Structure 1
């Protein structure tokens, strides 16, 4: 069981790090003014956000939870999902159009490092949010 758990965590960390790296590259794309043609890709990003909305709603729905709590969580996850999908998509487009800027300068290594730190911080926060919430109430 330990091995299966570690395998799942490794896949989750790798996927999260890759997605966040692509999103950081997407931010770079927008800051550099290189996000040309984004309006043509926007419907796909919106569709991805809608998929996140439905999956979140189905996953979080529980008769013991208040409907407003489920909807608020779903809306928050959907906004986050849309943002990551859009920035990640633009990051992939930017990396394919300007590979020398990312790989030649090793900028992508800094983005990978930042994404890995964000992944670890998010994982820790998710596992310890109750402790953090209890601390702020005291």
Structure 2
């Protein structure tokens, strides 16, 4: 942080945080050792890092790790494969499948439906979800849209 401060950087975002990272940020701040403002984006899904928990369980824990300089107020949803799927299929409007390291992973291979991961995420977001009750904040997952 000392080097970043020398360039005027006083804030950063962890764009895909886990419970352990939030706990570490909270502990540093309460010990007076976090010399920056930090916002965390809690993971809704995690096809990359292998963190657990994710989704509703992690969101329910976020408030526990809030401190003076740490704000776990955001979420990260991995939809990265959607762009590759559209590119692989030859552009928008064509049937799509997700290209993974071991070949196609989810999605429709011929009917033009969205990839399974995207469908599940959309279903999760449209559900009733946990209620986050903080003054001035929206309640539930439907507020994301």
Structure (1/2) with the larger strand percentage? 2
Greater C-alpha Rg: 2
Higher RCO (Cα < 8 Å, 6 or more apart): 1
Structure (1/2) with the larger helix percentage? 1
TM above 0.5, yes or no, is: no
Q: TM-score, normalised by structure 1?
A: 0.27
Q: TM-score, normalised by structure 2?
A: 0.27
